Amino acid sequence: MSTLLLLTSALQPSAEVLPGLALLGHQVKILPAEGSALIDAPDADLILVDGRQELAHARDLCRLLRTTGTDCPVVLVVTEGGLAVVAHNWGMDDVVLHTCGPAELEARIRLSIGRLQAARDEDEPDAHVIRTGEVVVDDATYTATIGARALDLTFKEFELLKYLAQHPGRVFTRDQLLQEVWGYDYFGGTRTVDVHVRRLRAKLGPEHETLIGTVRNVGYRFVLPTKEPTVAPADESAETRR
């Protein structure tokens, strides 16, 4: 699940601006399509700019976003008529029709965010390595270790461990994990998550299985091990006096 920022002057909810968005599980925050609104804009993984009606204003807003120095992907929402005039120098990363279906929209969001992550990985060679406690997940080589021991994981077990380790302490419902790890178009039930968590715990071993914590009636989270309190050494002189 990604956090999306929708810049629009429309009074309708986001589902009216981009109907396909209502069928996806992303968190959407809406702000007015004005430059002043960007000053206190919350962090987001991707920005959607509504260009259905005021295309020239949307173009200027996309350019303004680039001048602010943000590297967040910008996707311009247009009508079919708008496709005839958009140009590469408008400052957006991609263009999407407001009538596009959820599958296309999800793909464009995923690819835009993925391209940004790939660019960051080039600048930071270790950016693809996730270290959480003793768990090390390498997204480039699809390997995971705990301590000095390599974990023999299936693809979905790896993806599940990676996603949980990326958000230590955060609780995810089974439905959220299904969407993020298996994809929103997966037709299996939430029992799939329980089965993979059980297998993952078994491969972590008895000493580390508690890293995948269960939150009753909610879901699962990655639990960072707490440091054991240091025990002060016994007073040897007192023992001697007894």
pLDDT one digit per residue (tens) for the chain, 242 residues: 788 888 988 766 666 788 888 888 788 888 888 877 777 777 888 999 998 888 899 999 989 888 876 778 899 999 888 888 888 888 888 999 988 888 999 998 888 888 877 776 665 656 678 888 888 998 878 899 998 899 999 999 999 999 999 888 899 999 889 888 887 667 777 889 999 999 999 999 998 999 999 999 899 999 986 654 444 444 444 444 44
Report the C-alpha gap between 54 and 49 in whole angstroms. Answer: 11
Q: Which long-range contacts (CB under 8 A, 24 or more apart) does 87-96 make?
A: 90/59, 90/62, 90/63, 91/59, 91/62, 91/63, 91/64, 91/65, 91/66, 92/49, 92/62, 96/18
